[in-house]
């Protein structure tokens, strides 16, 4: 305060009185820049054109009172110390001016009070400005905090447990309406409502972790299920809160609650998928071993037995005993028949492993398999192809052909159908195979069977090729199997395929036919 130059406006009709006031200010140790005005017009002009640190006003002006001066300051929104210096010690007038807003009322005969009054007023103004600044900063902080909490994916809260074991929520963010089904006001008014949302089987763990957190002041980490009143769905929430002791000895937690239902459902789905994958892998291994045993048995019993018979027929032909030509002719004819049998067995086993018709293209392979199915099972099977030829790589052709074979196998075993419609088309880089029958249809219980490895295997084949597999059906419409697989694995193809596959993805695994009871 000693080095600052204070700008002081003196409103007084007497030049001498103004000089005495300025002299008192200087003698009091203030560095001042004083200006004297005597009329209301001059005072108004000074309030508009310059900034002031202090205003000293006489109350005995002929046409201008201290009230008028103070009103000018109010009109100009000038918030600086206003001190009345009067020649009369009127207590009522002084009290009225102080109530109006004057900082002090000083009698000219006692100017010794002027400097202390100025310093006290300046300090009060400074304190008031600091208070206003602190209030503004606090308001900004609160607005910032509310903006942050309103955008957090969860409920921000404070939870208090006092020494009488009474619970309360000093603060709850607005997100409680969405997550907990109740407004912050309701939850803070009745804090026990939160515990009532927790499922009984999960509340035991919640209470135990809460007790540990209170005793050890350790972070409370809890995941559990809640059910909002009137809501049939159960939510998983994750609650994390850090405790601290208050000055009153209470325990206060600052924390956040987040809805993790999607994560939990995803975890369960991943676990279920892994379990199904393990079961499918085990099943495929058993099928592989079964196929190997079957091939080994056929080679041993059929081809091996036939080759043994050929060897037996050759023994008499190579011994030294002379025989008639007709004997050797009969042996040759017999051996020829046995060789034909070996050739037929070899062709049959080879076709079972990989039909040679696949070399003629997927369209020919589907048509051939449909004809074989009709001849062998007696169920009519009509094939419609949108293209005369569809060029596919070997892996994709085999995958589509095996899915088609598996579907026909399940139709023959479980559908009781009399007619099958097959459609194979290629459109915009997507190959689409649809197989529909007029059988008994598929039910959801068929899909839920643990041993439904056939459909599970077909779905896995399609997913490995970045395609989709859908099966649906009913007792009145039979069963329909549809697969869509992109022919080329390019980014544009994948984006286009995703758009085309949207309708199927709306009802994944929506229906399952009797085809799925077994998929062997």
Instruction: Tell me how far apart the alpha carbons of residues 95 and 59 are, in angstroms, rounded to a whole number.
Output: 13
Nearest C-alpha neighbor of 407 from the set 456, 454, 439: 454
pLDDT value of residue 406: 85
Alpha helices per DSSP H over 247-356: 261-298, 305-318, 325-353
- Tens digits of residue pLDDT in 325-351: 888 888 888 888 888 888 887 777 766
Last residue of a domain, one of 353, 386, 416: 353
| 59 three-class SS | coil
Both 297 and 400 in a single domain? no
pLDDT value of residue 450: 59
Nearest C-alpha neighbor of 435 from the set 392, 398, 384: 384
pLDDT value of residue 420: 92
Both 291 and 419 in a single domain? no
138 within a domain of the structure (yes/no):
no
Residue 61 belongs to domain spanning: 5-131
Both 122 and 69 in a single domain? yes
Nearest C-alpha neighbor of 168 from the set 149, 146, 147, 195: 195
Last residue of a domain, one of 235, 259, 283: 259
Both 486 and 365 in a single domain? yes
Domain containing residue 26: CATH number = 3.40.50.2300
Domain containing residue 249: CATH number = 3.30.450.20
Domain containing residue 435: CATH number = 3.30.565.10
235 within a domain of the structure (yes/no):
yes
Both 373 and 513 in a single domain? yes
137 within a domain of the structure (yes/no):
no
Both 242 and 314 in a single domain? no
Q: At what angle do helices 453-464 and 261-298 cross, to 10 degrees?
A: 110
Both 321 and 409 in a single domain? no
**Numbers of helices and strands, H then E, in the chain:** 17, 15
pLDDT value of residue 151: 67
Both 325 and 246 in a single domain? no
Nearest C-alpha neighbor of 397 from the set 369, 374, 420: 369
Both 334 and 360 in a single domain? no
Q: Which residues of the chain have pLDDT under 50?
A: 1-2, 490-520
CB 54 within 8 A of CB 83: yes
pLDDT value of residue 493: 43
- Tens digits of residue pLDDT in 375-411: 888 899 999 987 778 888 877 888 888 888 888 888 8
Nearest C-alpha neighbor of 241 from the set 257, 258, 255: 255
Measured at the CA of 237, the angle between CA 235 and CA 239, to 5 degrees, comes to 160
Last residue of a domain, one of 234, 259, 284: 259
139 within a domain of the structure (yes/no):
no
Instruction: Tell me how far apart the alpha carbons of residues 154 and 224 are, in angstroms, rounded to a whole number.
Output: 15
Both 365 and 499 in a single domain? yes
86 within a domain of the structure (yes/no):
yes
pLDDT value of residue 190: 93
211-233: string of b/e by CB count within 10 Å (b at 16+)? eebeeeeeebebbbbbeeeeeee
pLDDT value of residue 253: 93
Q: Which two tokens stand for residue 128?
A: 């008031």
142 within a domain of the structure (yes/no):
no
pLDDT value of residue 496: 45
Both 15 and 101 in a single domain? yes
Q: How far is the CA of 475 from the CAs of 133, 134, 414, 472, in angstroms?
A: 76, 75, 13, 11
421 within a domain of the structure (yes/no):
yes
pLDDT value of residue 510: 35
pLDDT value of residue 453: 64
Both 509 and 422 in a single domain? yes
415 within a domain of the structure (yes/no):
yes
**Count: domains in the chain:** 4
């Amino acid at each position: 305060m000693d080095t600052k130059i204070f700008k002081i406006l003196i409103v007084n009709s007497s030049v001498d009185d103004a000089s005495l006031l300025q002299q008192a200010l200087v003698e009091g140790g203030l560095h001042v820049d004083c200006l004297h005005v005597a009329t209301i017009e001059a005072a108004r002009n000074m309030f508009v054109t310059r900034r002031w640190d202090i205003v000293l006003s006489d109350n005995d002006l002929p046409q201008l009172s201290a009230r008028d001066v103070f009103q000018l300051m109010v009109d100009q929104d000038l918030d600086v110390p206003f001190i009345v210096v009067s020649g009369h010690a009127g207590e009522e007038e002084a009290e009225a001016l102080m109530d109006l807003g004057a900082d002090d009322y000083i009698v000219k005969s006692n100017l010794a009070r002027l400097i202390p009054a100025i310093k006290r007023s300046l300090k009060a103004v400074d304190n008031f400005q600091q208070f206003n600044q602190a209030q503004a900063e606090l308001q900004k902080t609160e607005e910032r905090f509310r903006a942050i909490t309103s955008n957090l994916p969860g409920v921000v809260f404070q939870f208090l447990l006092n020494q009488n074991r009474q619970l309360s929520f000093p603060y709850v963010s607005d997100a409680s309406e969405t997550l907990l089904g109740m407004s912050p006001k309701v939850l803070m008014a009745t804090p026990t409502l939160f515990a009532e949302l927790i499922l009984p089987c999960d509340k035991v763990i919640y209470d135990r972790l809460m007790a540990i957190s209170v005793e050890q002041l350790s972070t409370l980490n809890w995941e559990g299920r809640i059910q909002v009143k009137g809501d049939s769905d159960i939510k998983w929430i994750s609650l994390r809160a850090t405790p601290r002791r208050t000055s009153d000895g209470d325990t206060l937690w600052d924390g956040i609650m987040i809805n993790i239902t999607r994560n939990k459902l995803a975890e369960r789905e991943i676990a279920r998928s892994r379990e199904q994958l393990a079961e499918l892998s085990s099943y495929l291994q058993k099928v592989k071993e079964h196929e190997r045993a079957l091939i080994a048995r056929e080679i041993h019993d059929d081809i091996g037995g036939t080759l043994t018979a050929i060897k037996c027929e050759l023994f008499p032909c190579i011994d030294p005993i002379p025989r008639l030509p007709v004997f050797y002719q009969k042996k040759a004819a017999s051996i020829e028949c046995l060789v034909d049998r070996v050739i037929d067995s070899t062709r049959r086993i080879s076709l079972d492993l990989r039909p040679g018709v696949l070399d003629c293209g997927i369209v020919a392979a589907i048509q051939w398999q449909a004809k074989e199915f009709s001849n062998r099972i007696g169920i009519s099977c009509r094939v419609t192809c949108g293209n005369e030829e569809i060029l596919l790589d070997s892996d994709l052709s085999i995958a589509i052909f095996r899915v088609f074979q598996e579907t026909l196998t399940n139709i023959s075993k479980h559908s009781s159908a009399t007619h099958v419609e097959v459609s194979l088309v290629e459109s915009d880089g997507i190959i689409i195979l649809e197989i529909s029958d007029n059988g008994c249809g598929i039910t959801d219980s068929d899909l839920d069977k643990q041993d439904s490895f056939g459909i599970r295997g077909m779905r896995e084949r399609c997913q490995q090729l970045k395609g989709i597999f859908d099966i649906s059906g009913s007792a009145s419409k039979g069963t329909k199997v549809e697969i869509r697989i992109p022919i080329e694995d390019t980014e544009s193809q994948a984006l286009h395929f995703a758009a085309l596959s949207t309708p199927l993805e709306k009802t994944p695994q929506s229906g399952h036919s009797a085809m799925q009871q077994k998929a062997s």
